[in-house]
């Protein structure tokens, strides 16, 4: 299958380094992508540097219940804490299908919640990233499934939680690759994020997405289209998608008017299905372009996944968007199975890339903003007057 070896080579190169937002590995990956573009694709590429707030754990967080100490992991941005109180059951959390948690909390004598404790229903080494900023006001930790019964038995007992974290201000980077950039031409943007969650190679999230985007851009560079294509490799997606927010914020008003569509490629080749999330107006086009792999494709409304990836800030600007990801069946995409390249579905990845290229080549923008020069405006004005 064409491009299969190239796809695999790119993925293997990217996962050689950890790519936590703000890390040396993230920057090195930007340089690798930039070099690949220069040697294999061509076109103008520009690096954007921006600051992000991140943190690191000095030691693993731990909590003590009935003299038993349990190691756990803090959620993003959990503050340094030393909390004592009573263990209470809070709710069942089903925000992420296939990665559900029982949620406990620590309350003080007045019944005020001091912290949340997420106990996995399935995984012994779970990962949970709640992008809802409100929870960052309270320290939160995640605990493996082997402690589910233990927590249930200890409801009402005293518990102490210690988190030792340090906040850091780091540099992160976007790489903007403009395949073409013509005056008064509409723009279609394809995005793939570079960074990973902590302690992850990011095979699926998102080395496969980067590889797929590079191959797609290589094909599209040779294709004549009536609109321009910009590719953006975003930093800090796992940090509240700050890289894509920075990029959108740097667009001028004129550029925003010309950006008609955004596609976020985030984790292809997971499992045996590809999920395509588009506006309902684009269902027909998606069904046609992905028809060759219809048995391996699920098409849904993007409104159901509006804040799942880098398309989010484009949607907030009123720009039509598409989100593409794989659908893991037997594992969660941040666990150890997701870091094993043997679990990557190469054939589905390549067929997804080919279908995506077809979708882009044949896309018809819904309700396009028509750009007229002054001469055309005068002609249209005369026609409208005659019609009256």
Structure-token pair, residue 352: 């997804």
pLDDT at residue 328, rounded to an integer = 78
Q: What is the pTM of this model?
A: 0.86
Cα torsion angle, 368, 373, 377, 380, sign: negative
Q: Does domain 59-166 have CATH number 3.30.450.20?
A: no
pLDDT digits (tens, 9 = 90+) for 74-100: 887 788 899 999 999 998 876 666 778
Q: What is the mean pLDDT of residues 125-135?
A: 60
pLDDT at site 122? 86
Per-residue pLDDT for 203 more than 70? yes
C-alpha closest to that of 318 among 300, 305, 306, 301: 306
- Give residue limits of the domains in the chain: 4-43+179-361, 59-166
End-to-end CA distance of the chain: 59
Rounded to an integer, the average pLDDT of 337-362 is 92
Task: Identify the helix (H) or strand (E) that includes residue 163.
Answer: strand 158-178
Using alpha carbons only, give the angle 16, 19, 24 rounded to the nearest 5 degrees: 95
User: Where would I find the H helices in 145-277?
Assistant: 148-153, 208-220, 242-250, 253-258
Q: What pLDDT score was predicted for residue 226?
A: 95
Q: What is the mean pLDDT of the chain?
A: 88
How far apart are alpha carbons 52 and 192 in whole angstroms? 18
- Among 227-236, 317-326, 337-346, 355-364, name the one with the lowest average pLDDT: 337-346
**pLDDT category of residue 371 using cuts at 50, 70 and 90:** very low
**How many whole angstroms from its chain centre is CA 140?**
22
Kindly report which listed range (103-107, 266-270, 363-367) carries the lowest average pLDDT score. 363-367
> Contact at 8 Å (CB) between 56 and 165?
yes
Q: How far apart are CA 140 and CA 118, in angstroms?
A: 8
> Residue 321: which of 277, 367, 283 has the closest Cα?
277
Helix (H) / strand (E) containing 314: helix 312-316
pLDDT digits (tens, 9 = 90+) for 140-177: 899 999 999 999 999 999 999 999 988 889 999 999 99
Task: Please check the confidence at residue 384 and state whether its pLDDT lies above 80.
Answer: no
CATH of 4-43+179-361, one of 3.90.1580.10, 3.90.1150.10, 3.90.226.10, 3.40.630.10: 3.40.630.10
Asked whether 186 and 227 are in contact (CB, 8 A), the reply is yes
Phi, psi torsion values for 189, nearest 5 degrees: -110, 130
Q: What CA–CA distance (Å, rounded) separates 244 from 250? A: 10
Q: Which residues of 352-384 are buried (b: 16+ CB within 10 A; e: fewer)?
A: bbbbbbbbbeebeeeeeeeeeeeeeeeeeeeee
Q: Between 40 and 137, name the one with better pLDDT.
A: 40
* 5-19, 118-132, 294-308: range with lowest mean pLDDT: 118-132
Residues contacting 289, CB < 8 A, separation 6+: 355, 356, 358, 359, 362
**Distance between CA atoms of 367 and 178, rounded to whole angstroms?**
24
């Amino acid at each position: 299958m064409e491009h299969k070896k190239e796809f695999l080579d790119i993925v293997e190169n990217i996962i050689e380094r950890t790519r936590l937002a703000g890390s040396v590995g993230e920057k090195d990956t930007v340089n690798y992508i930039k070099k690949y573009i220069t040697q294999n694709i061509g076109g103008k590429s520009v690096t954007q540097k921006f600051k992000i707030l991140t943190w690191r754990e000095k030691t693993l967080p731990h909590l003590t219940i009935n003299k038993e100490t349990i190691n756990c992991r803090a959620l993003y941005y959990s503050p340094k804490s030393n909390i004592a109180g009573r263990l209470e059951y809070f709710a069942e959390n089903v925000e992420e299908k296939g990665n559900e948690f029982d949620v406990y909390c620590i309350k003080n004598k007045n019944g005020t919640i001091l912290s949340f404790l997420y106990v996995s229903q399935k995984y012994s080494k779970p990962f949970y990233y709640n992008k809802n900023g409100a929870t960052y006001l309270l320290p939160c930790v995640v605990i493996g499934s082997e402690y589910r019964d233990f927590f249930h038995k200890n409801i009402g007992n005293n518990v102490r939680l210690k988190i030792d974290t340090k906040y850091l201000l780091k540099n992160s980077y976007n790489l903007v690759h403009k395949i073409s950039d013509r005056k008064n031409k509409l723009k279609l943007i394809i995005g793939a994020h570079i960074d990973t969650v902590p302690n992850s190679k990011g095979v699926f999230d998102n080395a496969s997405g980067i590889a797929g985007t590079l191959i797609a851009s290589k094909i599209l560079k040779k294709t004549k289209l009536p609109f321009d294509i910009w590719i953006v490799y975003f930093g800090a997606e796992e940090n509240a998608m700050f890289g894509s927010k920075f990029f959108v914020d740097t667009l001028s008003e004129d550029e925003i008017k010309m950006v008609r569509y955004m596609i976020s490629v985030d984790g292809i080749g997971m499992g045996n299905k590809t999920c395509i999330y588009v506006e309902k107006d684009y269902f027909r086009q998606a069904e046609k372009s992905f028809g060759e792999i219809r048995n391996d494709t699920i098409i849904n409304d993007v409104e159901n996944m509006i804040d799942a990836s880098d398309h989010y800030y484009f949607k907030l600007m009123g720009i039509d968007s598409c989100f593409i990801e794989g659908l893991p069946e037997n594992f969660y995409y941040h666990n150890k199975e997701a870091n094993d390249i043997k679990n990557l579905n190469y054939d589905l990845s390549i067929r997804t890339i080919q279908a995506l290229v077809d979708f882009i080549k044949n896309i018809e923008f819904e309700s396009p903003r028509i750009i007229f020069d002054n001469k055309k405006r005068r002609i249209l004005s005369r026609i409208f007057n005659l019609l009256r």
